[in-house]
Structure 1
Amino acid sequence: MSALDDRLAGLTSWHADWSGLRVAVYGLGVTGFSVADTLAELGAQVLVVAAKADEERRMLLEVIGAELVEQADLSTPPESLAEFDPELVIASPGFHWDHPLLVWAEQRGTAVWGDIELAWRLRDKVARPDGAEGPADWICVTGTNGKTTTVQLTATMILAGGNRVAPCGNIGVPVLDAIRDPEGFDVLVVELSSYQLHWVNRNAGGELSPFSAACLNIADDHLDWHGSMEAYIAAKAKVYDNTQVACVYNKADENTLRMVEQADVVEGARAIGFGLGVPGPSDFGIVDGILCDRAFLEDRANSAIELTTLEELEEAGLSAPHVVANILAASALARSWGVEPQVIRDVLTAFRLDAHRIELVRVEAGVNWVDDSKATNPHAADASLRAYPSVVWLVGGLLKGVDVDDLVGKHVGRLRGAVVIGVDRTELLAAFRKHAPELPVLEVEAGDADEVMPTAVRLAAGLAREGDTVLLAPAAASMDQFADYAERGRRFQSAVNDYLDDSAS
């Protein structure tokens, strides 16, 4: 190992000597800025490389003493990057693994980290509020769908159990911001995307070791980023590496079981399954409408602990099957941390889903209008569609290279009709022609984002009948016509309310 390699391997603490280290940060989104801000605080020399920088972050970089190189076309490394001669590169999650800037770093032998590795190395900045030794523990959650709901539930349960906790990571709050909070945390519940997991556990000294970890499910998604399903699964599987206490997996998804079986974990870590059926020993599941913990009790061979009931979840609007699965996973993670069953029950009584997650917008003339704009891939849309018996389906957007044929074929029997939006419509229309040639399928031709949802809602209303659900579950990303899934959902809700109010007047 070179002297630089030795130095990087030894940078495993906030209190190590980071001063003068030349670090190039790729990207200036929320994550990229948190990386630059952290490194500047540590005394490193920071150069941020970005295709575009908003004015506020540009000014903030000047304040913290970091340099910025802004170049619209990053297919060729900026000359100033080579002149800076970085000793370390930290890539924001949006940078594809074979981006020219990362290829450039690899060719010159420069170490590449992600923000998660940096945060793991720096996690000892603030002492834990509970007085326990060491930094806050991490509970890590990944999966194709349900991550955010599961992270929020787990964090809420731990908070209600009397501990200081932060939901962070891909959920919106960078982990680096959480580890620098001056009041500290007992535990971080970290949502990890496949992009972030791609970069973990690659370098000496930066090996992530969660207290507990979960992969909720695996389905085709982000294949355009990873290049293959095998690479996508390999990235997700890293969430279980070095897990200390509990590897929580989905009994209905063999991929997650294989991940746990193949993971190199800390001795004594247990495999904890969750599913909608009767739980075996060391599982979470459902018996006669009762959600049960059969893992964290002494006599798990013969008994179980009641957590809540399906009836109570229905009253709270949490009874959709995929939501129940998320609840079981979150309960397993919270119980691994020691949260009492009654605390979990109390949390579930009051918990509500995020906006644009199977959110009921309106009921009018016996028709339910539901916003699940967060269903940005076929797996999420499948779960959403399964929750309703008769659907007018609003679908389409950016498909990200995934196949929608199976999704359409699986659900044509429950469809009253479909309204197709977005730019990637060729495959969708072909699937509808193949599986349901008689089904009414209408297209929204409007290119203006202001017109897409009003048109879609008007067309859907013409198809819907009493007892139907008009469901926005696009099975696709939103960036073709909207800023993000939230804007897509807000525009849908606004269009629904405007249309129904106008119809009633």
Structure 2
Amino acid sequence: MSNVDWQGKHVTVAGLGVSGIPAARVLHGLGAVVTVVNDGEDERSRAQAAELEAQGIAVRLGDGDTLPTSTELVVTAPGWKPGKPLFAAAAEAGVPVWGDVELAWRLRGQDGREPAPWLAVTGTNGKTTTVRMLASILEAAGLRTAAVGNIGVSLLDAVLGDEPYDVLAVELSSYQLHWAPSLRAHSAAVLNLAPDHLDWHGSMEAYAADKGRIYEGNRVACVYNAADPATEDLVREADVEEGCRAIGFTLGTPGPSQLGVVDGILVDRAFVQNRQKQAQELAEVADVNPPAPHNIANALAAAALARAYGVEPAAVRDGLRNFRPDPHRIEHVADVGGVAYVDDSKATNTHAAEASLAAYDSIVWIAGGLAKGATFDELVTGCAKRLRGVVLMGADRALIREALARHAPEVPVVDLDRTDTGAMSEAVREAAGLARPGDTVLMAPACASMDMFVNYNKRGEAFADAVRARAAESA
């Protein structure tokens, strides 16, 4: 169906939302007969349905499990679980199921233009930062590009819009990859693998397999994390085009076919003429903002993908210098009384929190929220020596408190028995009481935010507001 005549094709779009509504409109515009099905029915979905119906698109609210008669293709929102009855019915009827990424991939070049290659990134943590770094590097090289996919510009807009791109920097989640069977990137990276979204995938093996789909059919480079053997295993298992290379990145001295760090310099021993004996300087560690270890790893992965596309070293340096991280990602908020306050509200799982905690020597840690089935023993064991104290908040804080009692019993712990949004001001106040000059008060919750806040952004804003209020009091 890659070059299908959409006129009169019966397509069911599963889910109203950020991917479903654009997909429905695009398909309708191509001449397909579109029916949108949605699980819920509320005021917002009724308003969305009315808009679509006014355009001639049928909508069924509260009926997300029934496959409409005559359906020839299902296009699903990425978050819909594979076990839903709708997909079982589609499989029984021999109807293919695509995600919005798959749809975008299949629609490339429909306007007669040469499709822009995709440089794709996935991983448990660091995807957005790495893709935005990559886009910054590509822009510094003078290329027309955009950060797209699970970030920024939608892929459908990117492949069908009026502006032609030279190359796209594409962030892909495990959900999106699950529903994108024919995706074939120019080059791709898996940054890391840690347990996450297991309730959706069913197992760590299934989660890893969906992440590994990003390597299928790669033409030039499969970029992996040398410190995370599971990512290299995915490269070994991938079916790639002849000549595609495995390219590692490491925070240490790189071997041949790797990028790494030598004496504070990011270097390339992969895309050089004699990789056995030569290394190309790309940038300084100081060019990475912020220069925390996991962010340096992100920069190396972005650089590897850019170099796979043929970008010159100077553009890597300039792109990293130009890059500014999104809010709530190890963001320095203020210094108060000799103590640094850092917002890493985006650290919504233990793997992300581990990377954040490793960036500082003496920490008062603010943590807690919704654990999503996570355990915290390994995280606490790894960071115990860095902890001056801990302030806990949120619904599942007891899980972290118990891990601290087992593995860091000497560390002072303040347990805030409240889950209202005002708890953040008290958490900052308690953290300030535990901190000493030279310490970092780090909010890296290792948990999701929805028990107390709409999302991690609102949680980070609450932390920053509380810190700034404290700074104003101390002025």
Taking structure 2 as the reference length, what is the TM-score of the superposition?
Answer: 0.95
Residue equivalent to 2:430: 459
Does the 8 A contact of 1:126 with 1:179 survive in 2? Answer: no
> Which residue of 162, 179, 182 corresponds with 2:142?
162
Residue equivalent to 1:260: 235
Partners of 1:164 and 1:55 in 2: how far apart?
A: 39
Deviation at 1:444, TM superposition (A): 2.6
- State, as a whole percentage, how many aligned pairs show the same letter: 53
Do residues 245 (structure 1) and 232 (structure 2) align? no
Does the 8 A contact of 2:394 with 2:418 survive in 1? Answer: no
Deviation at 1:242, TM superposition (A): 0.2
> Which residue of 49, 55, 71 corresponds with 1:64?
55
Partners of 2:375 and 2:386 in 1: how far apart?
A: 20
Does the 8 A contact of 2:67 with 2:90 survive in 1? Answer: no
Matches of residues 88-103 of structure 1 in structure 2 within 5 Å? 88-103=73-88
Residue equivalent to 1:296: 271
Partners of 1:166 and 1:255 in 2: how far apart?
A: 29
Does the 8 A contact of 2:363 with 2:442 survive in 1? Answer: yes
Residue equivalent to 2:419: 447
Partners of 2:247 and 2:392 in 1: how far apart?
A: 40
Partners of 1:480 and 1:106 in 2: how far apart?
A: 36
Do residues 125 (structure 1) and 110 (structure 2) align? yes
Deviation at 1:92, TM superposition (A): 0.7
List per-residue Cα deviations over 1:63-121 (Å, max 9, x = no partner).
432222222x85xx3xxx45544222121111112133333433444321111111111
Does the 8 A contact of 2:67 with 2:86 survive in 1? Answer: no
Q: Aligned-residue CA RMSD in angstroms?
A: 1.8
Question: Residues 82 and 280 (structure 1 numbering): CA distance in 2 closer, same or farther, change over 3 Å?
Answer: closer
Q: Which moved more, 1:364-373 or 1:493-502?
A: 493-502
> Which residue of 271, 278, 282 corresponds with 2:253?
278
Other structure's SS at 2:321 match: helix
Residue equivalent to 1:116: 101
Question: Residues 272 and 395 (structure 1 numbering): CA distance in 2 closer, same or farther, change over 3 Å?
Answer: same
Do residues 19 (structure 1) and 4 (structure 2) align? no
Q: Structure 1: 5+ residue runs without aligned partners?
A: 1-10, 129-133, 202-206
Other structure's SS at 2:247 match: strand
List per-residue Cα deviations over 1:198-249 (Å, max 9, x = no partner).
1222xxxxx2110001001111111111111111111111110000011111
Deviation at 1:439, TM superposition (A): 2.1
Other structure's SS at 1:47 match: strand
Question: Residues 83 and 99 (structure 1 numbering): CA distance in 2 closer, same or farther, change over 3 Å?
Answer: closer
Do residues 372 (structure 1) and 360 (structure 2) align? no
Other structure's SS at 2:146 match: strand
Other structure's SS at 1:30 match: coil
Partners of 2:173 and 2:67 in 1: how far apart?
A: 30
Partners of 1:252 and 1:116 in 2: how far apart?
A: 29
Q: Which moved more, 1:467-476 or 1:85-94?
A: 85-94
Taking structure 1 as the reference length, what is the TM-score of the superposition?
Answer: 0.90
List per-residue Cα deviations over 1:345-402 (Å, max 9, x = no partner).
1122222211111000000111000001111111110000000011111111222222
Counterpart residue type for residue 79 of structure 2: G
Residue equivalent to 1:335: 307
Residue equivalent to 1:34: 22
Matches of residues 480-499 of structure 1 in structure 2 within 5 Å? 480-499=451-470
Q: How many residues align?
A: 472
Counterpart residue type for residue 110 of structure 2: K
Partners of 1:125 and 1:227 in 2: how far apart?
A: 36
Residue equivalent to 1:6: none
Partners of 1:156 and 1:83 in 2: how far apart?
A: 44
Matches of residues 389-400 of structure 1 in structure 2 within 5 Å? 389-400=361-372
Does the 8 A contact of 2:177 with 2:214 survive in 1? Answer: yes
